[in-house]
Amino acid sequence: MTDQEACRLLADMTRELYDNKLDGPYKPSVEAGYHAGLMRMRPEVSAVVHTHAPFATVFGMSDMEMKPITTEAILIMNYPNIPFHLGGTADLHSFVLKHVGGGTAKGAYLRNHGLITTGKSLREAVDYTYMVEHTCRILVIAKMAGIEPSLIPQETVERIGQYVAMI
**pLDDT digits over 9-30, tens only?**
544 443 344 445 555 666 767 7
Domain assignment present for residue 94? The answer is yes
Among candidate residues 104, 116, 84, the one with its CA nearest the CA of residue 167:
104
How many C-alpha atoms does 103 have within 13 Å on its Cβ side?
A: 15
> Does residue 160 sit in helix, strand or coil?
helix
Domain assignment present for residue 33? The answer is yes
pLDDT band at 63; cut points 50, 70, 90? confident
Among candidate residues 29, 56, 40, the one with its CA nearest the CA of residue 111:
56
pLDDT at 143 over 70: yes
What per-residue confidence (pLDDT) applies to 87?
86
Domain assignment present for residue 91? The answer is yes
Domain assignment present for residue 56? The answer is yes
**Count of domains forming the chain:** 1
Q: Give the domain CATH number at 30.
A: 3.40.225.10
Domain enclosing residue 28, as ranges: 8-166
Phi and psi torsions of 47, nearest 5°: -150, 145
Q: Which helix (H) or strand (E) holds 131?
A: helix 122-144
What per-residue confidence (pLDDT) applies to 96?
93
Cα(84)–Cα(62) distance, rounded to whole angstroms? 12
What per-residue confidence (pLDDT) applies to 38?
92
What per-residue confidence (pLDDT) applies to 12?
46
Domain assignment present for residue 103? The answer is yes
> Does residue 3 sit in helix, strand or coil?
coil
How many C-alpha atoms does 94 have within 13 Å on its Cβ side?
A: 7
**pLDDT digits over 35-60, tens only?**
889 999 999 999 999 999 999 999 99
Domain assignment present for residue 3? The answer is no
**pLDDT digits over 74-118, tens only?**
999 999 999 999 888 889 999 999 999 988 899 999 999 999 999
Phi and psi torsions of 111, nearest 5°: -50, 130
